[in-house]
Structure formats: structure tokens, C-alpha cells
Structure 1
């Protein structure tokens, strides 16, 4: 109320009307009069674009959980069939003094099943036609499974999987994304909200100067959201601190954090308010509001940036071809390290058992 600001000038009768990005704020209504609404103004955010997923569970992604369970059940059935067939073969074709016990049969069935599953050959000799046919059936079954798995894995590496972007209000809270603006006016309309969702996202809201926002937007990897105004006819009011390079790393949120209708403020009991409201009504009815939005955007805003932002509304942001690196094979490396560690421990255990048995003999 110093008289230097727009609303203060109305209080001190230095101006008759104030039009800008001002909403129907109750605190100001106690001192000033409001016109009918001018435009719908939606407050939303440009948030960091989703990143490519590179995780340890990449080898498991080609199949869903239910399919992995079905494959495990199929392998158990194969192993059970091979154990019973090998045991029957021992009873029918091998002399009693040379027959193997149940432990050897189980070892044969389990090891052969997993060897076939990873396309490795076995070293056991089959005597009966039953075991041979069963081995051939298991080989064909595992060949089909591994072929499908290889095709699914190739598609995942070719078409990258992207992380979830904080492009909705619930996701903005879930990801605890820091978002910022250059004025408290961007969130003053929701400061008094009692909703837990609004309180949580306001906790991560920060106010920076334009220079600080420019520095944050020029980072190599943008990790903060920037407030923008969604205009009623498909355009966005974007600060000058967001350049084309920063927009390439951002996507627009699918919904608004909140919206209100902008109004014109006038002094209390201003005699021309009714005529102003009639003019605004005629302005809406004639379609001039749409015309002027397009005209002002064309004259004052960067059309390239407008197009960049609108392209992010069509879906996931295209990050383009990305060369494969070691991070894409982290899952396979972990499996290899785990397998090598288990094999090493098993080898050491076998050496220890052999040494103990020799000492006992």
C-alpha cells in the first residue's frame, strides 16, 4: 500500500484501473472493486523430462511376473519329468550293480534342465527312447522361450524405457520435486489451502530471482520445475530465463496445479465499472479474447519455445537415439558377478570337503 505498486496506486487514486496477472484475491477485494473475469489463468510447471531407465533388473524386464512364474513352473515340470524318466531308465536298462541312486537322478534332471534353458549341451548318455524324446521336447520348448526372451530384450534396448515424470500434481508430490518461481504471487492464491496435497507441494516451492532461475535453467541437467502460466487458448506465458536449451530437458505438466480467473482491479465505487464490465462481456462474445492472445503471443513471445512446449504435450518426450553404455548392462554384470561368486564359493567348498574326506580316510 505504499502507492508504488499497481494496487497501491489504485488505493492512492493515482490510477483508475489495474489490469494484469491478478486474480480475485479476497484480501484485495476488501479494499478494491473487481471487474468481471478477463481470462482463465492456469498455473502449471515445466518439469524435468523422464530419464532413460538403466537398472539392475534389466534382464528381468522382457517378461512380466506372471510369465516368469509360468516359465519357472515349466522348468520344474521338465526337471521332474527328466528325474523320473532317468530313474526308470536305470531300472530298465542298467544292471543292478551299476544303477544310480535318487540323488544322481535328481542332479541329472535339474542340471540338464538348466543347461537346456541356457542353450548348453549335456554330457550324459541316454539309453531309452523315453529320455531321448523328453530331452528333445525340452530342448524345443527352451529354444522357443529363449528366442522370445532374446527378442524382448532386443526391443527393450532398442526402444528405451523411460522413468516416470512428475507431470501431474500427485506425481509432483510423490517425487518431491523442487519447483520455483520469481514471485510469491504464483502461489499466493493457494497458501491458505487446507488440502494435504497442496501443503506438500508448497513445501517444495522456492522463490528465486530471475538471475538465479537463469542459472538453474542453464545447468547441464535441469533438476527443478519452473512455473508457467497456461493461457486459455493453448499458449504459455514463460519467463525469459527459460531458453530453448532448457526447454529441451523439460516437459509440461498434464494438468494445472490450480487455476483462477484474472480480473481488473478498480477503486472502490468507481463509476465506470458497469461500463467496463459491459465492454469485457462484448469482448468475450465477439471472440476478441482469442484473437488478442494469438496476437500478443506472436508479437511478444518466442514462437519456437511455444512450439517446443506444445510438442511435449503429445506424450513422452523424444530423447532421441542414445548409444548403449555400461549402465545398460548393469543387470547382466551383476548376474555375472553373482554367478562367479557362487561358483567360487562352491569350488572352495568342494575342495574343503575333499580335503576333509581324505583326512578321514
Structure 2
């Protein structure tokens, strides 16, 4: 192990006390009886040899009072934070110290118990994260007291979160330096090992061994706890006899993009995985009281150390976990309903936009009124009705022969202008509709975020985690599609896919394949078309607890796999092995345009005309019936009047006689 840890520029640290200031702070916190000069020299030697480049050192004490006669005098020029635990503050001073960047902890004997008790809770609440931490526990007692203290340390559960541990125990004449095994399985992983002996008289180490040996390169079968769930093509559990994953007391291996990393990690560092699966809740949720369900719920409750499975760097979860380096790119988009053929009768009205139709309608009405009210020379022409003017103009708009004015100059100018206008508009319409009707006409596709927002269609995903990356966006179109997002149970997704009326979420993998659920089949995938624009993209990451010491090792092995382009091979193999490849091909070609085959006119081609003709005939028939009924009622009314008058005349004649 290198004696220099990863460094940070200490010039950015606001408080950098001198050696004398640090000594004064330390001396105020320690009792002269607790520490002799041997411990001072030992700690000074260790800190100056192993931690030259650390950001901040942290001295942990537990004193009810600040001593006025301290004797500790640790010589170091590193930024030094002194934390004194007391019954009223507990982990608050420690929390502040960690936020200052503490990665090396020198813990006094009296503070060891409370430090280990609050270690996990304190780190869970911090913002500062660094997995590589070092711990120096000093035990000044001897005999049974020291033995009891060592047993407490050995059996403390927090020891499983600590890899770099050094315990200094006095034997009266020298100081024994111990560590714990860490690797392997319990209870052997907590066994204490003797590293070296420090001789205060001549300030030397008896054997000169490394006091912080590298324990992480060979974990000797140490079980690591991981949470994931069956997710194509990321994690697919497969039972095998020689697997390095234990699940339900059976041996498994894990295929998939993330499963490959897990397997390679343990093959590289000689460990095993204890798997936790919550298939029902999938990603799960985290509640405000730091409980949860699913994959991330198991991690926040520390049932596992590690969680992976196509998760991004979601801001909502950053306060709870540490995130690994980005593993691979993921694009999230949608499969939208495939554009349908437009009915022929609708095409008649789609040649012009609504504003154009409105302008043409107003123009038609104004021209008809203008022709009607335009003065004429003869009384005969003046007697034409208003309906005659509208019909005459309607024929002109349809390029039919019309009885246009041609007497005086104003009438001729009016007629010529009308002919030019109707000629231009009519032939533009005819040419456009003929060119459109020659090939099939489809609805416009949903290709972008704007199109999806304007379509007002719901888009479905099996879990709300698919929209975590969009929360907080100020884009109005993003906000609109968020209001249309639905976390649909997996059981209902296949029926929605079969109907093909709603959008379905989809992930584009780094090397061109698609993360698509089993609810898509070779039949219902033909109902969908892939959007051209991604809704968003993110990077696959892994989540760990803030104290898991193997984070840097995981980042290293994941980076090696990425740089070697092995994910491309794994993606190809697992997609071909576990997913419907016909669905993959259909999605890839879903944006292909259909062949422009000439379409012969059929009945559907004149459907619009037939509808208009039928509507006209029905209206005419209704008008005819109205006229006949009105005429019949009028005749009956006249007959009754004639009969009444005849009866009145007959009555008068009779009275006269």
C-alpha cells in the first residue's frame, strides 16, 4: 500500500492552523494522565508518514470537561479538527467535522464506543463523501480493561464498514499495533491481527511493516450485499452450480449489462454477493423517515451495501447515497402510436389551413353580396334574388360556367377579377389534391418532445423512476408531458400495447439496442413508431451507502470494462439471448417511410364527394318535405276558410228566405 493517500489541495481549506495552534487545541482537549509522550511520537510519526496529502485530520475525544493541563502534542501541519463528544451533542460535532473533509480519524479510548455507535448514522446525514477513510484507535489502558475494550471493538457491527483500521494498545513498555482481518466471512473477518510494535524509547518500529495493508484487492470470499431486480437487459438472474451470487440459499449468476459488472467485480476482487430482490416494487421509493421499499429502499435501510440496475444519477436520491462514476449512456424516449391513414373525406379539407378556408369563405360571401348590390342598367337583372347571386358565385369558385356581369366597365372589372381569383385558387387546390391523393396520406408522426406534448397522449412506464430526471424542469413542454405520465402496473402494459393508442417509454442502449419490456410482441410492436428525439438521457450508475469502502474499487473495474468496450459485446449477446430480436428490428425500422406506390382511385377516394352529395340530397329532400307539408297545410287552411265562408253565406241565405 502506498503511504500517501489521494490528496486534495489544502490551500482551499479556509482554516489552516500552525503547528503551535494545533497543539494548543489538542492540549486543551486531553488530560495529561491519558497520554504519554510515546503516544504523541507514535501518532506524529504515523500522520507525517501516511497522511501527508490528506485534506483534514480529525481528533475524536470524549471528555466531560476541557482539561486545563493537556499533554498531547501531535506535530503535523495538516488541517486539524478536534471533536469532543458529550452527552448533549452526540453526533453533531462529528457531522460538522466530516463536512470539513475529515478522512482520517484519530479516536481516543474514551470516545471509541460512542464514535462507533454514531459512525453510520452520522455519515448518512453528511453531504461530503469519500469511501477511503482511515481510523486510528488509541487504547491507553492495560490489562483486563484493554482486553474488554478490544472485544467491544471486535464485535461492533460498524467494523464491517471500516477497512483501514489501526489500533494502538499499550503493553506498559511498548505500543502494540493491531488491525482487524476485514476480509473473509464472519466471525473471522473481525479477528484482530498484530501488525507491528512501536518502541517509544528509540521511536522505532520493531518490524517496519505497513500499518495500513491493502485488504481490498483480495477479499477472500467476503460476502457483499447487493440489491437489484430482474430487468432486461440489465440484470437477469440464472441459477447455476458454481455461481458467486447467493439468493434464497441457492447459487446464482447474473447476466446482463449490470450483472456482468457484478460478476467481474467479485471475480477480480475474490468476493461473493448476497442478493436481495424485490421484484414487485422494482426500483422502490424512499420515505422521509429513511425507510423504503424496492431496490433503493433496501439500500437506505442498510439491508444491502450496494444497489444497481439501470439507475441514473437522480438528484432526489443523492442525499441518501453515494453514486458511482458513470458506467454507460442511456437515452430515454418513447414508442408512439404509428401514424394512421387519413380518411379520404378529410383530405378534401386538409388542402388548405383553417385561416385559408376562413378567408375564402369571407371572400365568397362578400363577393356574392357585392354582386347582388352592384347597380344594374335594366330592371330585369335587378330582380335576381340573393340566392341566385350566391349560386352564381359558387359556380365561379368551382370553375363552372357562370352568368357574370359584363355590361358596364365596373361589372367587367369585377368579373375579370373574379375569374382570375377563382382560376388561381381553384387550380392550386386541384393540383394539390391530385398530387396528394396519388399516394397514401398519413397523419403527422410524433417525433419530438413538442409533438408528444401537443398530442396530449399519455405515456406509460412500469415505474415512476422513469420520470425522475425530468422533475424540476422549467421547459413548458416537459412540464406538459410530465402531467401525462403514468406509472402503469406491468400486468396492464400488454393490453395498452395491444391497443396502440398511448405512448410507451423506451430506453436506447449505448450501442444501439433497445431496452423494451416483454409486453411488446412481434405483433403489437407494429402499432408503434420510435420518436426521433430523446425525451432525456442519463448515465447508468450504481448506488452505495456512504460508508462502503469498495466504491473506488468498483469504479476502477467498471472503468476498465468500459474502456475495453466489453459492454458492446455484452449488450449484443444479452439482447440476442434474452430479448425478442424481431421486436428490436421492428423498432429500428419503425421510422422507415412506406413505399410510395401509386394508389388507384376507389370508392374511398370519392368518399368526401359522396358525403357532400348525400348531405346535399338529404337537405334538399328535407326542404322538399317541408315545402309539401307547408303547401298541404296552406291548402287545408284555405279550404277551411272557403268552407267557413260558404257555410256563412248559406246560413245568411237561409235566414233571408
Name the CA shift for 1:259/1:202 in 2 (closer, same or farther; >3 Å). farther
Q: What is the match of residue 329 of structure 2?
A: 40
Kindly state the Cα deviation for residue 250 of structure 1 after the two structures are TM-superposed. 0.7
Higher helix content, 1 or 2: 1
1:6-155 matches, within 5 Å, as 6=295, 17-26=306-315, 28-54=317-343, 58-63=347-352, 66=356, 69=359, 100-104=380-384, 112=392, 114-115=394-395, 117-118=397-398, 149-155=429-435
1:254 aligns with 2:532: yes
SS in 1 for 2:330: strand
User: Which residue does the alignment assign to 1:281?
Assistant: 559
1:229 positional shift = 1.0
- Structure with a larger share of its residues in strand: 2
State the distance in 2 between where 1:71 and 1:270 align.
74
8 Å contact from structure 2 (residues 529, 590) kept in 1: yes
Q: Which has the larger radius of gyration?
A: 2
Structure 1 distance, partners of 2:485, 2:600, is 32
How far off its partner does 1:227 sit? 1.6
Which aligned pairs between 1:137-216 and structure 2 lie closer than 5 A? 149-190=429-470, 197-198=478-479, 201-209=482-490, 211-216=491-496
Partner of 1:95: none
3-state SS, counterpart of residue 212 of structure 1:
helix
CA distance in structure 2 between the partners assigned to 1:345 and 1:251 by the alignment: 49
Residues 175 and 290 of structure 1: is their aligned pair in 2 closer, same or farther, counting only changes over 3 Å?
same
**Normalising by structure 2, what TM-score?**
0.41
Deviations 1:114-161 (A, max 9, x none): 44554656799x999xx99x9999889967865554443333333344
Query: For residue 4 of structure 1, what is the aligned residue in structure 2?
Result: 276
TM-score, scaled relative to structure 1: 0.67
- Between the aligned partners of 2:483 and 2:373, the Cα distance in structure 1 is 63
Determine if the alignment matches structure 1 residue 341 to structure 2 residue 619. Answer: yes
CA distance in structure 1 between the aligned counterparts of 2:365 and 2:468, rounded to whole angstroms: 61
Q: Is residue 236 from structure 1 mapped to residue 514 from structure 2 by the alignment?
A: yes
CA 1:16 to 1:107, structure 2 compared with 1: closer, same or farther past 3 Å?
closer
- Aligned residues of 1:218 and 1:246 also touching (Cα < 8 A): yes
CA–CA distance in 2 between the matches of 1:12 and 1:319?
A: 59
1:75 CA displacement: 11
**Count of paired positions:** 345
Q: Tell me the SS of whatever aligns to 2:465.
A: helix
RMSD of equivalent CA atoms: 5.3
Distance 1:145 1:195 in 2: 41
Q: Distance in 2 between matches of 1:329 and 1:73?
A: 27
Q: Does the alignment pair 1:306 with 2:595?
A: no
Given that residues 83 and 105 in structure 1 are in contact (C-alpha distance below 8 angstroms), is that contact kept between their aligned partners in structure 2? no
Distance 1:324 1:16, change over 3 A: farther
The answer for unaligned runs of 5 or more in structure 1 is: 91-98
Q: Secondary structure at the match of 2:517?
A: coil
Change (3 A) 1:272 1:322: farther
Q: CA deviation at 1:78?
A: 11
Q: Give the gaps of 5 or more residues in structure 2.
A: 1-225, 228-274, 278-294, 639-657
Separation in structure 2 between the aligned mates of residue 110 and residue 184 of structure 1, nearest angstrom: 60
